[in-house]
Amino acid sequence: MAGWASASELPAHADPSPSSAELAAAADWDELQNHIEGRVVRADDADYGMAKQIFNTRFDDETPSAVVQVATADDVAAAVSFAAQNKLRLAARSGGHSYAGVSSATGVMIVDLRGLTGVSYQDGTAVVAPALTLSDVYQELDQYGQTIPAGMCPSVGIAGLALGGGLGFESRRYGMTCDRLSAATLVLPDGTVTEVSATSRPDLFWALRGGGHFLGIVTSFTFKTCEATSKDVVALTFPGNRAADAIAGWAEWVRGADHEQWADISVDADGQGGLRCWVQLVCPAGSGALAGAALASAMRMLPLTVEARTLSHMEAVTYLAGGSNTEPRASFNNGSDIVKELSSDVIAVIIEAITMFSRDGNTGWVQINTLDGAIRDTTPADAAFPWRNHAAMVEWGCYEPTPTDIARAWVLEAHQLIKSATSGAYVNYLEPGDPVDRYFGDNFTRLDAIRTKLDPNNRIYTALVN
């Protein structure tokens, strides 16, 4: 299909084309440096190792052709224009959490946006710079008693999250992060700048909301905010040998729960053949006891432990982030599957996959997030994020010390086990070498046409193949 790199052109974790090194060597990097306020960092610079570093340590050996540390939005346009003129592939970096290592890829010019920060707020609208972390955004907006529905990992960048969709603990009430997007400033692959909204470039506005990683580089987001309110946060654990019953009960509870209530469910491998099952429940302050009891009732079992807290909005954000607004770098492997329904057969496969990994002496997890509530207020045709009529997103994950080859093999085996039930995957949990259409379902054809028109020479690096 047009517009996306083929497998031969774009192998995972390698030069994205045979001539990338030669093109980079021929480029006049001093010219770019003279046209920006920021800095061009090359391989012979003393701080290149630090400049190319992203969150996932398994990509530390990647060697981008340059890291352009921009200081202004004009720098971004200059850098993208330079890449187009010199036929270089490029990728943006905000939080640096790309699961496929896109924002540190070998042979790719990285446009590091982390110099672009700041939030302005007025009358229910926030203008947000692309390099802010979720922790930054939450803290800035909390000053006004406002928030946006976003994720729980504090160091994830708002740009990557929003452009791929954005699931979190207020998605059932307020929709996805991309659903709150009302406008953006976008640097196109040829370096031109355009304003995007429902009335200005509506085609791009549609595409940015769930498919925006591949269209250019956003230098400003405008979001419709919502009230930041106190929360009850309830942590419950259940017997690991009854994890299948717990998942089925969780799915039953979700179908009837008020949209102000949210919970995900996780099953962890203990590395000895056993499992641990736990739930995070978030709901309005004062309602945690009743919501937790209703959840346990749907599971038809008593929880092993219950820990309930009433927290301010920012206290809840920090608690759900693990108690800190920062986190250490680590090596990890992740993947995802979108399922239309959580039938008993699908649940059995999920339990089989995680149990198998545990029996082999490994620790990892599967986490299930619901795709209902206000997520469905936007139809699949209204935005590029396609999974509006599906039951859940199933995330497979494994952190160090499990070796990458073992972890990756397990994620791929889990995909195969659930293959008959999966509809696709979540693009924010990108897996290198995947086919593009796995992430966009029925929206792929429209997104592909938009992207091909914008980027006919395939300059935006993706790590995906046809």
Domain C-terminal end among 67, 89, 115? 115
* Angular region, 372: left φ>0, alpha ψ -120 to 50, beta rest: beta
Q: Is residue 279, in this structure, part of any structural domain at all? A: yes
**Where residue 199 sits, what CATH number does that domain have?**
3.30.465.10
User: What CATH number does residue 27 fall under?
Assistant: 3.30.43.10
Instruction: State how many domains the chain has.
Output: 3
d(CA 40, CA 44): 11
Each residue of 83-117: pLDDT tens digit? 999 999 999 999 999 999 999 999 999 999 999 99
**Residue linked to tokens 């046209």:** 35
**Together in a domain, 107 and 133:** no
Do 25 and 74 share a structural domain?
A: yes
Residues 183 and 239 in one domain: no
346 and 239 belong to one structural domain = yes
Q: In terms of domains, do 172 and 24 share one? A: no
- Phi and psi of 53, rounded to 5°? -75, 135
- Whether 191 and 124 map to the same domain: the answer is yes
- DSSP secondary structure letters along 213-227: GGS-EEEEEEEE-EE
Structure letter (DSSP) for residue 147: E
Is the predicted pLDDT of residue 4 greater than 80, yes or no?
no
What band does 422 get if pLDDT is binned at 50, 70 and 90?
very high
User: What whole-number percentage of the chain has pLDDT above 70?
Assistant: 96
Q: Which residue has the higher pLDDT, 304 or 15?
A: 304
61: DSSP letter: T
Calpha distance 69→166 (Å, rounded): 25
The reply to whether 129 and 197 lie within a common domain is: yes
The domain of 69 spans 20-115
* pLDDT for res 125: 98
pLDDT digits (tens, 9 = 90+) for 166-208: 999 999 999 999 999 999 999 999 999 999 999 999 999 999 9
